[in-house]
Chain A
């Protein structure tokens, strides 16, 4: 993750995420991604009650708040964007939900080795940080047997995405060599990182993770294209996965 991403997310917080944060924090059910697929359907998370959780790229930390409400013992939200952490602090004060917040990039987290049972990232470090740096960090932070769960855009979506505009129904860029992406819109949207499934498995395995699941998300029937996150239409996402959740366990 770079300073460019901090700038992009400072703008995004002003435009969107700050105003949505309190509503997101207040949701009763955990859901995933832009189609708000409920955790009760996808079963991506381990039981978090009594567990120590780190969220890598927490943004306004609504996901961490949900896990804290589900009984996590400790939730630490890590994010490099001060404006989003400020929003998270305001939500903490309003809700009384206590998280610990750390301003840092997912590639370099100032927390001790083997101090967490669960690491999560939902559109956080999972796409905004370099996986060749943040996956080793996640491995370092987890205790043996600890679980890593992250949501990213699907590889197929990236291959079908033009530099600007919605995903198309055709392959537009090569899979071999994919890693770092700069989308050229009017405003700087920052730098994203996306790998092929083979590269994800290799990277996770090299860092001592066992692959537990890959949940490829289908937009539910009746879904409508997201008003802000309109990089993919609901119609596209009903036929092909626009998002996927990886679940991996650190070897004990």
Chain B
């Protein structure tokens, strides 16, 4: 199956934006740690993935693959997948700098070019479970995971989605959009991210054979800073979970 029109628009978006994105956010992301989301919350605090050493791990929407590079340094066997070839070029550069090597795949996560039951962990940190339709991707995740394996997806919360003021391109405290009509959020030039409410996530995961393990609501550390200030402000994110992680285990 060819990528969907939306996947192609998102690919074009990331191919165009990649260099600037890496220039702006690289300084925040280039740290020797496993970090989640806009506020770089360490995995040692979040505890979403558990032990990673010796595990086969697929990063969906890996971008410059900093997560996978850190996983490789910790003894995991990562694989990175991204929809943008330019992002993967950045990944190759950082891998060479770090002296690690692992497979990278250029594909939309709508159709993962990897065999059934080949991973212990699949995760996305604002990656392909945000930039591709979770209703299409989650069945693929279920397919490539071994039984008893884990999926972890850090996504924007529906509270952030409904409080996002598209007109002024910022979040505030007003409820701008209906919770029941979440679908996609425009990211410019026809690109879009996908939004599901909490009940829909639970039903989607369960329908694909996952047991819900946790919903980890991320909160910036006191005095935390971010290069993603256009996504959410510190004041907002300290009070409400702008991002949260769905963690589920395949039966």
* Chain A residues in the interface with B (C-beta under 8 A): 156, 159-160, 169-172, 174-176, 196-198, 201-202, 205, 210-216, 218, 238-241, 244
Residues of B within 8 A of A212 (CB): 206
CB-based contact A201/B215 at 8 Å:
yes
Known: A176-B219, A198-B215, A244-B199. A218 touches B175 (CB 8 A): no
Residues of A within 8 A of B206 (CB): 211-213
CB-based contact B175/A169 at 8 Å:
yes
B93: shortest Cβ distance to chain A, in Å? 36
Q: Quick one: which of A171, A172, A174, A205 contacts B213, CB cutoff 8 A?
A: A205
Residues of B within 8 A of A215 (CB): 199
CB-based contact A174/B214 at 8 Å:
no
Residues of A within 8 A of B213 (CB): 205
Q: Is the interface of B mostly helix, strand, loop or mixed?
A: mixed
Taken together as a complex, chains A and B put the C-alpha atoms of A248 and B185 apart, in Å, by 31
CB-based contact A239/B175 at 8 Å:
yes
CB-based contact A175/B198 at 8 Å:
no
A182: shortest Cβ distance to chain B, in Å? 20
B239 at interface (Cβ–Cβ under 8 A)? yes
Taken together as a complex, chains A and B put the C-alpha atoms of A214 and B199 apart, in Å, by 5
Q: Quick one: which of B175, B202, B238, B244 contacts A198, CB cutoff 8 A?
A: B244
Q: Quick one: which of B179, B203, B215, B216 contacts A240, CB cutoff 8 A?
A: B179
CB-based contact B174/A216 at 8 Å:
no
Chain B interface residue count, CB cutoff 8 Å, equals: 28
- Interface 1/0 per residue, B185-218 and A, CB below 8 Å: 0000000000001110011001000011111110
Name the CB-closest residue of B to A175: B240
CB-based contact A198/B162 at 8 Å:
no
B225 at interface (Cβ–Cβ under 8 A)? no
CB-based contact A176/B238 at 8 Å:
yes
B241 at interface (Cβ–Cβ under 8 A)? yes
Residues of B within 8 A of A172 (CB): 173
Q: Quick one: which of B162, B180, B202 contacts A214, CB cutoff 8 A?
A: B202
CB-based contact B212/A211 at 8 Å:
yes
Taken together as a complex, chains A and B put the C-alpha atoms of A167 and B198 apart, in Å, by 21
Residues of B within 8 A of A210 (CB): 211-212
Q: Quick one: which of A160, A202, A216, A238 contacts B175, CB cutoff 8 A?
A: A160
Known: A156-B179, A211-B212, A214-B198. A175 touches B163 (CB 8 A): no
- 14 A–B pairs (Cβ distance < 8 Å), ordered by A: A156-B159, A174-B239, A175-B217, A198-B214, A198-B215, A202-B215, A205-B212, A205-B213, A205-B214, A211-B211, A211-B212, A214-B202, A216-B198, A240-B180
Residues of B within 8 A of A197 (CB): 198, 215, 217
CB-based contact B214/A170 at 8 Å:
no
B168 at interface (Cβ–Cβ under 8 A)? no
Taken together as a complex, chains A and B put the C-alpha atoms of A246 and B79 apart, in Å, by 36
Known: A160-B175, A169-B175, A218-B180. A202 touches B239 (CB 8 A): no
B32: shortest Cβ distance to chain A, in Å? 28
CB-based contact A239/B199 at 8 Å:
no
CB-based contact B179/A175 at 8 Å:
no
CB-based contact B214/A201 at 8 Å:
yes
A172: shortest Cβ distance to chain B, in Å? 8
Residues of A within 8 A of B163 (CB): 171
